[in-house]
Amino acid sequence: MAGVILKAVFKTFGKTTAIKNFSLEIDDGEFVVLVGPSGCGKSTMLRLIAGLETASSGEIYIGDQLVNEVHPRDRDISMVFQNYALYPRMTVYENMSFSLRMRKIPKAEIERIVRQTADLLRIGQLLDRKPGQLSGGQRQRVALGRSIVRNPQVFLFDEPLSNLDAKLRIAMRAELLLLHQRLKTTIIYVTHDQLEAMTMGNRIVVMKDGLIQQVDAPDAVYDQPLNRFVAGFIGSPTMNFIDCRVVSEKGDLYATTPGIRLKIPESHARHAEKYIDQEAILGIRPEHLTVSTNNRHLDAADRFKAVVRVIENAGSEKLVHIRNENDTLVARLERHIRLKTEETVDFTARMDSAHLFDKQTEHTIF
Amino acid sequence: MTPYGQKSNRVKWIGAPVKYVLFTVMMLTWAFPVIWVILTSFKARTDIFTLPPRIFFNPTVEHYIEAFVRSSDIARGTLNSILVATATTVLTLLVAVPAGYAFSRVTFRFRNQLSFFALMTQMAPPIGLIIPYFFILSRTGMLDSYTGLIAIHMTLTVPFCIWLMITYFQDLPVSLEESAAIDGASPFAAFFRVVLPSTWGGVGVTAIFAFIESWNEFLYAVVLTGSRTKTVPVAIFSFLTTEESLWGPFTATGVTIMAPVIVVALFAQRQMIKGMTLGATKG
Amino acid sequence: MSKKADPKKVRYEVQWERFGYAMISPSMIFLILVATLPLVSLLIMSFFRIDLTYPLDNGWVGFENYLEMAKDERFWYSIKLTAIYTISTVFLQVAVGLALAMAFFRGFRGQGVMRVSVLLPMILAPVVVGLAWRTLILTPEYGILDYVSILLGFGSKPWLVAPTWAMISVIIIHTWQWTPFAFLVFLASLNAMPQEPLEAALLDTRSAWQRFRYIILPMLQPAIIIVVIFRTMIALRAFAAIFSATGGGPGTATEILNLYAYRVSFNSLDLGYGAALGTVLLLITVGISLFFFRMRRSSTG
Ligand SMILES: Nc1ncnc2c1ncn2[C@@H]1O[C@H](COP(=O)(O)OP(=O)(O)O)[C@@H](O)[C@H]1O
Ligand SMILES: [Mg+2]
């Protein structure tokens, strides 16, 4: 097994640059997820690692070998494609054994490995079928099996779950994690689904327009996003962003809009000092908004009034769309809280969990 | 889902009865000449020239016997046609299928120029090709040879079949070959073991078109063939050269030429129409 | 499984490029030898006198064949016929094909039968088609069309013996054989058209004609262009059906450029002049197809 090292990788297609200055060290046995909106270059990066594309510049190492010029079959990787790419006219057994046959492994050995893998994935009874006779979930397993049999150093997964229905996808997520715990092989996993990224990765690489935005453990990406893009991309429903002005009153800093005035906690204040009397963007996650419980007087530093516009009942919780002046926010509330639309309600923001972003650069201020 | 049928009932361009009358006229217009050739081929000499024309009659196969037994031209011509069309088809597939695959998948230098070149050769007027071809073959003593005729038939079939195969290969996901490459297969292995087995349908339709093209071909055959290699579309003229028209044997031979094409069309009409209109509708 | 990469082994893209060349070379070599070289020879031959009936005078003549052509009334007449034949058959195919496609698109029962009957003319041997029309359909009295014409009171027509009628007949035959192509293409594009504009059109427009003119016709435009391109090219190649129906006659009444070049080359065995005629046809074809390519690019891009 081996890690993967990417050094300043660029990839251009004609005029578009799909990957820009991509550097990353992936440890042996790590489960790394590349996540980002469609078209941001995730697949391209994976294909560069696989050797299906050649980097325009930069270096790619698998283990300690520089592989830029190495053919995919010699990189000791395996890849699962979004459409699975099962060979349509071969049986499941032939599909799974194809790579071993290409490598001239003895027949008996092939048989043993394929059966063992099939049992691991519980597809032993499907070995004689053709891909056309399988359900989506079964095809997915066969594609997995085909990549496992070779016992490669690195698994590359390109949106392997996005063709499955929601329920199956969640089940397969857990199974893939179990598989990783068992095989302990490095996995580089591509998805556009931030939830999938959060639940699966040891580390998440958030990408946008071919550039790495942030590399961190899931919690860190969630709690300390490096910029507004990451803050907005990770988490659902998405973070509320409010254009505000930073003002200083009696030594305290406030983020203000025409209808909202929220105190910036002392712990964060020193980061925001540079922005006094300037515009900034306040970011508050929907779960950090709650209905104020007791009736303290209104100019409390973490409260504001808002009109309830829409209530989405999601069963375990409520998503409430609220409006203050020109700002629309979403609050994620517990299910037992009863609200009526058009009602004006007093909300409390957990300002110690809020973020402030530079309006121009969109970098995180705190 | 909104029921599709409901929409189509509302958006009606012509009333249903008019439509069915039109339908019948259209069917007759296109099917009738073919049906009439077939009927005539089974009519006795005395039933052919009657007024009004006879639809009911005692069928006879005398014209087939006359065409095939009495005149050696037709039997030999049919065998020649089978030979030439089969060889043309096989050789065409051997060069066009790989080329179609490469054009649809591989980005090599001059790809666009080369595929444009292939397209242009198809546009070349046959008369412009046959004049030098005839001259060259007459100089090399290759007139009336199977090789010459097969080669020039391939100038018709190869570009078209390359182009048709491109559209079939484009329907396959590229990830198949990428997967095979990672699995350790060479491009050739991927082509033969993964791609080709998934495209037999397309290859089949392509083969049908190549065969029909060669089977029906007339201009090249009439110029290049002599008594030895004359194909049946050329041989059929022997019944109509004089003004004494031998409609019977002519139609019998006509049916012989049309029969394989009609049979194939009955079985593969859907795929053939798709193949014909593919390039036009895909844009 | 080898851990070390063999330096002799090449990168994936390079491997594929080589593979690509290997796969296309047989067909390209073939086309160069058997299609391109003869066309080059055609051009060269057009500067020679190659009369197989008087081989003694044969030799380089420069532009003489072309100069002769400029004075050759039969040539100019054949150009005129080619233009008439091409334009009228293409126009008829598009018009009739479009009308039929409009009538039959959407969930029409009997499409299976229809498909076979319209497919057949296109794939039957043009020779058989031409001969069958000449005999079974257009022969005075005994030909079905002539018979019907008599029945309907129009009387017997000199279908293949009067010059104008002969031209009309070969145009009818070509249109009969190839309208199905236009019909099928239009039918396919109509069926593939998005439903919403049609639905909206139902509400917005007053008459079926307006719907057709302002909604459907613009959407069909790419298909129409394609059909015109394909059909023009085929019309310029037309040979077997005319040859078998009229042989170019009576006289030179249906002698389009193709047939003229054929008669000069293989009846008179004057290959040099035939090659010059063939070259002109080649240039016309190339010119028209380049024009179409440009037109298509500007209409799609
Ligand atoms: N073979 C290619 N040729 C040209 N552009 C490409 C090619 N592959 C990808 N791209 C471009 O590179 C960008 C990144 O694509 P991709 O890696 O597929 O994104 P993702 O997988 O994140 O959705 C896109 O803008 C895409 O259009
Ligand atoms: Mg992708």
pTM to 2 decimal places:
0.88
CB nearest A51 (choices: C4, C6, C12): C12
In sequence order, what DSSP letters do the residues of chain B get, joined into one string? ---HHHHHHHS-SS-HHHHHHHHHHHHHHHHHHHHHHHHHHTS-HHHHS-SSPPSS-----HHHHIIIII-HHHHHHHHHHHHHHHHHHHHHHHHHHHHHHHHHH---TTHHHHHHHHHHHHHS-HHHHHHHHHHHHHHTT-TT-HHHHHHHHHHHHHHHHHHHHHHHHHTS-THHHHHHHHTT--HHHHIIIIIGGG-HHHHHHHHHHHHHHHHH--HHHHHH--TTT--HHHHGGGGTSSSS--HHHHHHHHHHHHHHHHHHHHHHHHHHHHHHHHHHHH-
Report the number of distinct structural domains present in chain B: 2
Q: What is the mean pLDDT of chain C?
A: 87
Ligand 1 centroid, distance to A12 Cα (angstroms)? 9
Domain contains B253: yes
Cross-strand partners of B5: none
* CB-based contact C246:C160 (threshold 8 Å): yes
Q: Are residues C83 and C11 part of one domain? A: no
Q: Give dist(CA C94, CA C85) in Å, integer.
A: 14
- The one-letter code for the residue type at B97 is V
Ligand 1 contact, A207 CB (< 6 A): no
Q: Are residues B22 and B67 in the same domain?
A: no
Measured torsion, CA atoms of residues C136, C138, C143, C148, in degrees rounded to the nearest 10:
130
- The answer to whether residue C46 sits within a structural domain is no
CB A277 within 8 A of CB A246: yes
CATH of the domain at B236: 1.10.3720.10
C135, containing H or E segment: none
C275 phi-psi bin (left φ>0, alpha ψ -120 to 50, beta other): alpha
Residue B139 and residue B17 in one domain: no
Q: Is residue C223 part of a domain?
A: yes
Q: Does the Cβ of A54 fall within 6 Å of ligand 1?
A: no
Measured in Å, residue C171 CA sits from the centre of ligand 2 at 54
User: What is the Å distance from ligand 1's center to A222 Cα?
Assistant: 27
Fold of A240-358: OB fold (Dihydrolipoamide Acetyltransferase, E2P) (2.40.50)
Residue to substitute in A11, A13, A20, A33 for testing ligand 1 pocket (most ligand atoms within 8 angstroms of CB): A13
Question: Would you say the CB of residue A38 lies under 6 angstroms from ligand 1?
Answer: yes
CATH class of segment(s) A4-233: alpha beta
Q: B interface mutation test: which of A48, A53, A73, A163 has the most B CBs within 10 A?
A: A73
Between the CA of A43 and the centroid of ligand 2 the distance, in Å, is 4
Judge whether residue C271 has pLDDT over 90: yes
In degrees, to the nearest 5, what angle opens at C-alpha A25 toward C-alphas C14 and A229?
Answer: 100
Chain C residues whose beta carbon lies within 8 Å of the beta carbon of residue B261: 120, 123-125
Check whether residue B28 and residue B142 sit in a common domain.
Answer: no
For residue B101, which residues of chain C lie inside 8 Å, CB to CB?
23
The single-letter code of the amino acid at C116 is: V
| pLDDT at residue B281 tops 70 | no
pLDDT of C5 reads 44
pLDDT at residue C211, rounded to an integer:
76
Residue C213: what pLDDT? 82
Interval A241-256: pLDDT, tens:
999 999 999 888 999 9
- For the beta sheet containing A344-349, the strands, ordered from the edge strand earlier in sequence to the opposite edge, are A289-291, A344-349, A303-313, A317-324, A327-334
A and C: number of Cβ contacts within 8 A: 32
Sort strands A31-35 and A186-191 into parallel, antiparallel or unpaired: parallel
pLDDT at B5: 39
Q: Any CB–CB contact under 8 A between A91 and chain B?
A: no
In a domain, B251, yes or no: yes
Same domain, C77 and C146: yes
Domain ranges of chain A: 4-233, 240-358
The pLDDT of residue A297: 56
The domain total for chain C is 2
Short-list C79, C31, C108, C82, CA closest to C239: C82
Contacts with B, C 227-266, CB within 8 Å: 227, 230, 233, 236-237, 239-240, 243-244, 258, 261-262, 265-266
List the single best residue of C79, C109, C123, C231 to mutate versus B (max B Cβ within 10 A).
C123
The alpha carbon of A75 and the centre of ligand 1 are apart by a number of angstroms equal to 22
C80 in the same domain as C30: no
CATH value at residue C240: 1.10.3720.10
Spell out which residues of chain A touch residue C10, defining contact as CB-CB under 8 Å.
Answer: 71
Same domain, B106 and B235: yes
Q: Please, which pLDDT band fits residue C157 given cuts at 50, 70 and 90?
A: confident
Q: Looking at A216-220, B59-63, C26-30, which range is the least confident one?
A: B59-63
Q: Which of B175, B182, B193 sits opposite A73 (nearest CB)?
A: B182
C14 and C147 housed in the same domain? no
Q: Which of B173, B180, B197 sits opposite A83 (nearest CB)?
A: B173
B50 domain residue, yes or no:
no
Q: What is the pLDDT of residues A103-124, one digit of tens each?
A: 999 999 999 999 999 999 999 9
Whether the CB-CB separation of B121 and C35 falls below 8 Å is answered with yes
Is residue C195 over pLDDT 80? Answer: no
Does pLDDT of B60 surpass 70? Answer: yes
Tell whether B18 and B124 lie within a shared domain.
Answer: no
Q: Which residue range forms the structural domain that includes residue C17?
A: 1-37
Q: Which residues of B touch A (CB under 8 A)?
A: 173, 175-176, 178-185, 189, 193-194, 197-198
pLDDT at A299: 54
Mean pLDDT of chain B, nearest integer: 87
Q: What six digits make up the tokens of C113?
A: 């039968």
Q: Enumerate residues 6+ apart whose C-beta is below 8 A from C172.
A: none
C-alpha–C-alpha distance, residues A87 and A81, integer Å: 12
| Domain that includes residue B131, residue range | 62-277
Residue C24 and residue C104 share a domain: no
Average of pLDDT values for C206-223? 81
For residue B11, pLDDT over 60 is answered with no
What are chain B's partners, defined as 3 or more CB pairs within 8 angstroms?
Answer: A, C
User: What digits encode the pLDDT tens for the residues B71-117?
Assistant: 778 999 999 999 999 999 999 999 999 999 999 988 888 888 888 88
Indicate if B161 and B131 belong to the same structural domain. yes
Of the given ranges (B2-16, B126-140, B197-211, C33-47), which has the lowest mean pLDDT?
A: B2-16
Task: State which H helix or E strand residue A38 sits in.
Answer: none
C214 and C205 in contact (C-beta within 8 Å)?
A: yes
State whether the beta carbon of A333 lies less than 6 angstroms from ligand 1: no
What mean pLDDT comes out for the span C263-275? Answer: 94
* C207 or A27: which leads in pLDDT: A27
Contact: C1, A51; criterion CB under 8 Å: no
Contacts of B140 (CB under 8 A, 6+ apart): none
Site from C12, C15, C19 to mutate, A interface, most A CB atoms within 10 angstroms: C12
Tell how far the Cα of B2 is from the centroid of ligand 1, in angstroms.
36
Give A26: exposed, middle or buried? Use CB within 10 Å, 0-12, 13-18, 19+: buried
pLDDT digits (tens, 9 = 90+) for A144-196: 999 999 899 999 999 999 989 989 999 999 999 999 999 999 999 999 999 99
Query: Mind telling me how many Å the CA of C269 is from chain B's nearest CA?
Result: 10
In-domain check, residue C296 = yes
- Beta-carbon neighbours within 5 Å of ion ligand 2: A 43
**Using CA positions, which residue lies closest to atom 26 of ligand 1?**
A39
- List b or e across C227-263, with b for residues whose CB sees 16 or more CB atoms inside 10 angstroms: bbbbbbbbbbbbbbbbbbbbebbbebbbbbbbbbbbb
The pLDDT tens digits of the residues spanning C84-129 come to 999 999 999 999 999 888 887 765 666 777 778 888 899 999 999 9
Domain shared by C74 and C148, yes or no:
yes
Please check whether residue C69 lies inside any domain of the structure: yes
Domain membership of residue B159 (yes or no) is yes
Q: Which residues of chain A have pLDDT under 70?
A: 1, 294-299
- Tokens of residue A334, six digits: 């517990």
Q: How close is the nearest chain A Cα to the Cα of C16, in Å? A: 11
Protein residue with least CA distance to atom 12, ligand 1: A18
> Is there a domain that residue C45 lies in?
no
Do C196 and C264 fall within a single domain? yes
Based on the fold, state whether residues C14 and C85 are members of the same structural domain.
Answer: no
Whether residue B147 sits in one domain with residue B208: yes
| Residue B21 shares a structural domain with residue B79 | no
Residue B50 tokens read as: 């009657």
| Placement of tokens 């009495």 in the chain | B70
Percentage with pLDDT > 90 across chain C? 53
**Number of C-beta neighbours around residue B34 at 10 A:** 20
How far, in Å, CA of C161 to CA of C159, rounded?
A: 6
pLDDT of residue A282: 95
Q: Which of A16, A52, A158, A213 to mutate to test the pocket of ligand 1 (most atoms within 8 A of CB)?
A: A16
Both B22 and B131 in one domain: the answer is no
B151 and B24, same domain (yes or no): no
Residue A72: list chain C partners with CB under 8 A.
Answer: 12
User: Are B97 and B193 in the same domain?
Assistant: yes
Quickly list DSSP for A241-272.
EEEEEEEEETTEEEEE-SS-EEEPPHHHHHHH
